[in-house]
Structure 1
Amino acid sequence: MTPPSSAPLDLSGCDREPIRTPGSIQPHGFLLTLSQEGKVLQASANLAHWIGVEAQAACGRPLAEVIGAAAEGLSQDLPGDKLGNRPLYLCTAAINERHFDVLGHVWDGLVLLEFEAALRAEPLDYRHLYPLLGDFLLKVNEKQSVESLAELAAHHVRMVSGFGRVMVYQFDRDGHGHVMAESKEDGYHSYMGQRFPASDIPSQARDLYALSRIRLIQDANYVPAPLVPPQNPVTGQRNDLSFAALRSVSPVHLQYMRNMGTLASMSVSLMVKGKLWGLISCHNETPCPLPFEKRTACEQLGQVLALCIESREDASELQFRLEVRRMMVAMLGNLTKGADVIDNMSGIFPELLRFARAGGVAIVAGDRVLTYGDTPDAAAIEDLVAWLELQGHGSEIYHTDALSQDYPGAAALRRNASGLLAMPISRLHKHYLLWFRPEVVHTIEWAGNPHEKEASGTASGSASDMASIPAPLTPRTSFATWREVIHGVSLPWHVAEIELTGEFRSALLGIALERAEQMAELAEELGRANKELEAFSYSVSHDLRAPLRHIVGFSDLLLESAGSEDTTMRQRFLTNIKESARLAGKLVDDLLSFSQMGRAALRPVEVDMSKLVASCIDKLAIEIGQRNVEWDIAPLPRITADPTFVHLAVQNLLSNAIKFSGQRDPAQIRIWSEQDAQETVFHIADNGAGFNMDYVHKLFGVFQRLHRMEDFQGTGIGLANVRRIVERHGGRAWADSVQGQGATFSFSIPRKLAL
């Protein structure tokens, strides 16, 4: 094999290199592409080396003419509908006294057959791998942490593959790889705990790792074998070899391996939740062939490890979220106890600190700045909030663990505010809740300087000449430990903390909205109470003053007639005094009852309205006396309500019906109901005096009368009581009438009370 060229490699287009369409394969086997009918369309240029047939001569011929009798063992597996897009082991074939493991897959409009040289004549035998795989599966459940799982996997992959060093590393959010587990032979350099910079694996290579889960390079000094012809006859483009086991790799990567002292490597992708979480990276200092069955075993170990990582991370994530949510619920419970949300929040500062695992917390409400823990001073916090407003973060959560990268004034805040989580708590005002995390100075060990940019070759001439002529870059040559001290960075914010902070903000805005609604309801209630208070004042000055004036007047007349012998006159005076006192007492009782309606708590139960109406009619027997009253009562449903309050409301409405139909013979009173999914409506109609609908809006007001007291006595509080009782239940009350022909009073009770 001819060693690779020592000419410098140009890395300027490394990230755009066509790694999926390299146009060649690794030479430890050969490749044939077939049509769906089984005719050879392309062959790798090393075909003559392996089976004595020139690549150009093989093209256009049936497979059997190219590989001879070995084609018979493949005939049943070659139809494209039996193959997938990942290489499948088909058989171990003998061609010209050489043996090959044959892999097949369909991709890019072709059937691709790969023939890997094998040292045995027998088919693949997985039995010797079962003990190693079984031991791994038995021990997986004993390992609780992701690090211990990775260490177990690294050991078993090294035992299966025979590579000298196996590492498991995870990609961080910046793409750097952190080595969390390692298994190696004595004499191999250790990379445990170190980081490989993201630039070592360009983005297109990461995409290919996610697509094709395993990749083997047997010898970094190989000379690629190009495809003949170079274009895919179906597409007219270079062949897409993304899933081919023999796919040639980037010359840049081969030089990288040689610089690292590695001549054979294998990578197994760790896919967690559909994303490239990390790699199992295997290295060997000398070339290392690895048959398909061992590669498959390593790939399956990687899949099991990825599933275990996902399970452990999900469990850890769930536990963390439950704990944070538990704290959030407790905090929200405390925030509903007082009227001022801002003051309430300052009362739970310790809980807010634990919620975000922060070093300090601050509340900014207009000109007020309230702090707890280790925070910047008030002026610095106000400047920070002004910057947040200017950057448009007034309506969204802002978070960073490196504030100095965004905020110009962060250098002075580095000690206690390198990390910031900012939550606006008002859509209208400059109100913020801020959490601060302190700087965590730490040292990162890199496998070589991640910032190095080396130029190959030597240059002559002046310094200005050297600066003006760009030299081609080569892969980095140093993998010696390089330490970097990181400043101005805090512990990162957990994704659950950020998401639950969003929920916390929504809940706070909900509390504020509820308070606003409560204040609006209170204002409405106060307005109504003021009107009722005015009516109370009018009643005291008018309604209550009238019977008291009668009492005083008739008492004076009684005193003046003290010497008179006219007992009839004296009796009339005493009767008027008694009636006036009774009316005044009734007025006071009704006022007290109306006042209690707004204070007493509802105690809803199931109420049989038919029985309740019958009870009310019984109590009205004395008021009815000998009058002729015809009752028409339809079957009434059961409802959920406070029976005492509803009894009082119905009693008032029935008493009104009897009173205002007093001049009718017979008096006719009808009671019926209607019901839908939302409410039950009751109607009480009479054939009495009725009222003018122009004044219906006054009907349910306190001390509002639509008739003269001399015609129909009453205090004017009964219907106000009815309205208040019904509204306490969440219902409504109304009336309809034709003056002189009667009236219908209605009220509704919701099917489900909102208490």
Structure 2
Amino acid sequence: MSRHPEPDLSSCEQEAIHAPGSIQPHGALLVVSATFLNVLQASANAPSLFGLSMPELLGSELSSVLGPEQFEALRELGARLPASGEPVLLRAVRIGSGPVLNAIGHRTGGAVVLEFEPGADGTGPPGGLHSVVAAFIAKVQAATTVADLAQRAATEVRALTGFDRALVYRFEPDGTGVVVGEDGNGRLPSYRGHRFPASDIPKQARELYRRNRLRLIPDVAYVPAELVPALNPVTGEPVDLSHAALRSVSPVHVEYMRNMGTAASMSVSVLKDGELWGLISCHHHAPKVVPFESRTTCDILAQVLALQVAAREHAADYERRVEIQSVLTRLLAHMARADDYVSGLLAHPGDLLGFVRAAGAAVVSDGRTGLVGRTPGEEQVRHLAAWLFREQKREVYHTDALSSAFPPAREYAADASGLLAVSVSKLHPTAVLWFRPEVIETVRWGGDPRKAVEPVTGRLHPRKSFETWSQTVRETAAPWLPSEVEGAGELRNAVLGIVLRKAEEMAALNVELQRSNRELEAFSYSVSHDLRAPLRHIVGYAELLKEAARDKLAAGELKYCDTIIESSIYAGKLVDNLLAYSRMGRAALDRTRVDLNALVREVRAEVMAGAPGRQVRWEVGPLPAVEGDLIMLRLAVQNLLSNAVKYTKPRNEAVIEIGCHTDAGAHTFHVRDNGVGFDMRYRDKLFGVFQRLHRWEDFEGTGIGLANVRRVVERHGGRAWAEGAVDRGATFYFTLPAPSNDEERGTC
């Protein structure tokens, strides 16, 4: 037998701690066949306990080792061992004139592991197990917080076992542990409120604590008793000792205990809903054996603690979920009443923030960014949303350390170290984001959590010091609760439902619109046919009457004929313009590349041909090429230039300027003149149908031209407006989208 080998932490995560091949020597262990007939393996110290040599033990029938009476009792009880591997105290046995031993059995890998350890001295807790558990239940029921529960559990376990120190150690989601309750006699240092790194209890060790709730190390200086033979002769594999109370300890943990200044330890797992919530961890300055009965009592106390923790955490979680559902219901009502869900959310910042207890929120949708509360800047939010759409494929994303995942977030960590985001649509990037501010926290560690590297060999060791080591943690926020993350997911589903319902409504409206358009087309044809013909007849017969009776009619009567003819021609133009205006709103755009320089030259020539003798100075700057419907754009340009020529008629020399500038992804065109202008109080009427600011007698027209301009521009994704002053000219503006590639914008 040899003492523990030198530990090597570089491979501790892969260490097979469940099958160490040895036990602690304060008891002995036998591996027997499932039928209890013969011994397959024995610990190296078993011969001294049973008075047989190792060759005599191995392969012999268990009845010859224990004696017929003891064997039959164990065999009867052992037949009822649970298949789960849970260890069971079978009975107290005595081998010859030796001490009373507790026989503990469990099943593993098709065999039965029997452990024999010294029994109790008969001095159990006053009043027995029932009184201890009943008293503890009464105490924890009076506790108001989880921290209070943990403190009472630590006090009770230390009183029951006599350890120098008992800690209640809660695991955080990242595997680190926090001491939330402690009781001690002052012999060992206090770790109340201290944190320990996840590497202190690696993942596979936490899994063992989940499977086997009790772990005792009565003497850290023990010499391991190895199993003989090392491999199970039936399976050819090392025996799994996960549920063995005597299982040997990892050399790394032994060194850890020595560095911590403890000679004995015991841990009891606290399982909440089947998962490892924490440990009740006990330490002593000297070797200490805790009988199985006392350990079992501690296990029951830990289960009571787990039930109480679960009850309180579930109650708090239920209250929070009810609150979330209440706010969610209000948000759904807000969105249903609004024109769109984005407006519904942003219009009620209290509910939007309180929904997940956020300090700020943002809604990013189709280039629109709405902010409420404490948030990063608008541009920063857009960059963050772009990263989420590009890198994060999850529908719900959350973190309490945003800068760790998205380094640019360090710039606004004070406002947004925590992020909870839901992606509503990937096709049209839309997301709702909630922010939590940075919480600067000073964490007290039980020693420097960083492991030192031995300079010579490079071999890693557990840290040697457990003195308080403080660390200031920045760029983190209060973590998001599972109920809040799930609530955000429910909101996303609700928004998708609203969007889908509106899409269905729009589809139904589109069908109705198509039907209405067909009816309107038929009506337009009827108007065109039924009105044009009578108007042509009126004009024709009035002209014939005027010519035939010219010699018989007085000058005033001839004027009446002229008025009939002019009015009928005007009515015909009005009908034509109205029909053109109607068709323009329904016709699909035939987009092509349109050179506005050439278009303006052609239209200007046509307009001047209709104004012979006019003195007009045209000042036309360089214009870009755009993507659009040539026929529609020609109509818009023709109306603007015609108006400029018409309303500068009182000027001896008309000056008409046409130009453009480009910024923010749009071309902005202007047509400026030195004509009669208009009163800005009435500018909203300019682009309406039949809205005129001047008398028809002074300036001819149907009042539809500018309405056509606005409709053309809006169909192309732009807008139109005007500025002017009475008798000081007017400027008409309109925008068209600019290509993203600067080379395609042209000179402007």
SS at match of 1:283: strand
CA distance in 2, matches of 1:40, 1:381: 70
Aligned positions of 1:548-697 closer than 5 A: none
Aligned residue for 2:51?
52
Cα shift at 1:229:
1.9
Aligned positions of 1:126-525 closer than 5 A: 128-393=128-393, 396-455=395-454, 470-525=457-512
Conserved 8 A contact 2:81-2:107: no
Cα shift at 1:318:
1.1
CA distance in 2, matches of 1:113, 1:389: 58
- Does residue 39 in structure 1 map to residue 26 in structure 2? no
CA distance in 1, matches of 2:410, 2:521: 64
SS at match of 2:497: helix
CA distance in 2, matches of 1:79, 1:172: 39
- Does residue 106 in structure 1 map to residue 110 in structure 2? no
CA distance in 2, matches of 1:190, 1:124: 28
Which amino acid in structure 1 is aligned with residue 405 of structure 2?
Answer: D
Cα shift at 1:108:
2.1
Conserved 8 A contact 2:77-2:90: no
Q: Deviations over 1:721-746 (max 9, x none)?
A: xxxxxxxxxxxxxxxxxxxxxxxxxx
Which amino acid in structure 2 is aligned with residue 100 of structure 1?
Answer: L
The structure 1 segments of at least 4 consecutive aligned residues displaced by more than 4 Å after TM superposition are 2-5, 81-84, 122-127, 526-542
Aligned residue for 1:28?
26
Cα shift at 1:40:
2.3
Aligned residue for 1:627?
none
Residue 425 and residue 106 in structure 1: after superposition, are their counterparts in 2 closer, same or farther (change >3 A)?
closer
CA distance in 1, matches of 2:346, 2:174: 37
Which amino acid in structure 1 is aligned with residue 164 of structure 2?
Answer: G
Q: Deviations over 1:59-87 (max 9, x none)?
A: 22223432346635635436545565222
Aligned residue for 1:18?
16
Residue 387 and residue 87 in structure 1: after superposition, are their counterparts in 2 closer, same or farther (change >3 A)?
closer
Cα shift at 1:244:
1.3
Q: Deviations over 1:660-718 (max 9, x none)?
A: xxxxxxxxxxxxxxxxxxxxxxxxxxxxxxxxxxxxxxxxxxxxxxxxxxxxxxxxxxx
Cα shift at 1:486:
0.7
CA distance in 1, matches of 2:153, 2:215: 17
CA distance in 2, matches of 1:451, 1:362: 39
Residue 15 and residue 531 in structure 1: after superposition, are their counterparts in 2 closer, same or farther (change >3 A)?
closer
Conserved 8 A contact 2:179-2:194: yes
Residue 305 and residue 392 in structure 1: after superposition, are their counterparts in 2 closer, same or farther (change >3 A)?
closer
Q: Deviations over 1:626-668 (max 9, x none)?
A: xxxxxxxxxxxxxxxxxxxxxxxxxxxxxxxxxxxxxxxxxxx
Cα shift at 1:483:
0.6
Structure 2 unaligned runs (5+)? 530-748
Aligned residue for 2:117?
116
Cα shift at 1:44:
1.6
Conserved 8 A contact 1:365-1:432: yes
CA distance in 1, matches of 2:24, 2:361: 59
Q: Deviations over 1:258-278 (max 9, x none)?
A: 111111111111111221111
Cα shift at 1:206:
1.1
Residue 343 and residue 471 in structure 1: after superposition, are their counterparts in 2 closer, same or farther (change >3 A)?
closer
Q: Deviations over 1:401-432 (max 9, x none)?
A: 11111213112111111112222333432332
CA distance in 2, matches of 1:135, 1:241: 34
Conserved 8 A contact 2:389-2:426: no
Q: Deviations over 1:537-584 (max 9, x none)?
A: 999999xxxxxxxxxxxxxxxxxxxxxxxxxxxxxxxxxxxxxxxxxx
CA distance in 2, matches of 1:320, 1:403: 24
Cα shift at 1:38:
2.2
Conserved 8 A contact 1:77-1:83: no
Aligned residue for 1:597?
none
CA distance in 2, matches of 1:125, 1:186: 23
Aligned residue for 1:458?
none
Residue 71 and residue 507 in structure 1: after superposition, are their counterparts in 2 closer, same or farther (change >3 A)?
same
Conserved 8 A contact 1:195-1:447: yes
Conserved 8 A contact 1:440-1:491: yes
Q: CA RMSD in A?
A: 2.8
Conserved 8 A contact 1:160-1:294: yes
Cα shift at 1:528:
4.6
Cα shift at 1:125:
9.2
Structure 1 unaligned runs (5+)? 456-465, 543-755
Aligned residue for 2:62?
63
Which amino acid in structure 2 is aligned with residue 112 of structure 1?
Answer: V
Aligned residue for 1:726?
none
CA distance in 2, matches of 1:333, 1:353: 16
CA distance in 2, matches of 1:481, 1:63: 52
Aligned residue for 1:77?
76
Which amino acid in structure 2 is aligned with residue 40 of structure 1?
Answer: V
CA distance in 2, matches of 1:172, 1:538: 76
Q: Deviations over 1:583-618 (max 9, x none)?
A: xxxxxxxxxxxxxxxxxxxxxxxxxxxxxxxxxxxx
Q: Deviations over 1:142-196 (max 9, x none)?
A: 2232222111211111122221111111111110001111111133311111111
Which amino acid in structure 2 is aligned with residue 494 of structure 1?
Answer: L
CA distance in 1, matches of 2:82, 2:200: 34
Find the partner of 1:9 among 4, 7, 10.
7
Conserved 8 A contact 1:126-1:293: no
Which amino acid in structure 1 is aligned with residue 451 of structure 2?
Answer: E
Residue 331 and residue 78 in structure 1: after superposition, are their counterparts in 2 closer, same or farther (change >3 A)?
closer
CA distance in 2, matches of 1:109, 1:426: 54
SS at match of 2:425: coil
More moved, 288-297 vs 271-280? 271-280
CA distance in 1, matches of 2:81, 2:339: 71
CA distance in 2, matches of 1:78, 1:119: 20
More moved, 335-344 vs 81-90? 81-90
TM-score after normalising by structure 1: 0.66
Conserved 8 A contact 2:331-2:344: no
SS at match of 2:221: coil
SS at match of 1:279: strand
CA distance in 2, matches of 1:238, 1:534: 88
Which amino acid in structure 2 is aligned with residue 86 of structure 1?
Answer: E
Residue 59 and residue 374 in structure 1: after superposition, are their counterparts in 2 closer, same or farther (change >3 A)?
same
CA distance in 1, matches of 2:80, 2:306: 30
Conserved 8 A contact 2:74-2:90: no
CA distance in 2, matches of 1:83, 1:392: 46
CA distance in 1, matches of 2:76, 2:188: 43
Residue 415 and residue 73 in structure 1: after superposition, are their counterparts in 2 closer, same or farther (change >3 A)?
same
SS at match of 1:188: coil
Cα shift at 1:388:
2.1
More moved, 122-131 vs 62-71? 122-131
* Residue-pair matches, total: 527
Q: Deviations over 1:370-426 (max 9, x none)?
A: 212221212212222222232154x72222211111213112111111112222333
CA distance in 2, matches of 1:95, 1:61: 16
Residue 493 and residue 72 in structure 1: after superposition, are their counterparts in 2 closer, same or farther (change >3 A)?
closer
CA distance in 1, matches of 2:358, 2:458: 48
Which amino acid in structure 2 is aligned with residue 508 of structure 1?
Answer: V
Conserved 8 A contact 1:19-1:249: yes
Identity between Structure 1 and Structure 2 (%) = 45
Residue 178 and residue 497 in structure 1: after superposition, are their counterparts in 2 closer, same or farther (change >3 A)?
same
SS at match of 1:415: coil
SS at match of 2:337: coil
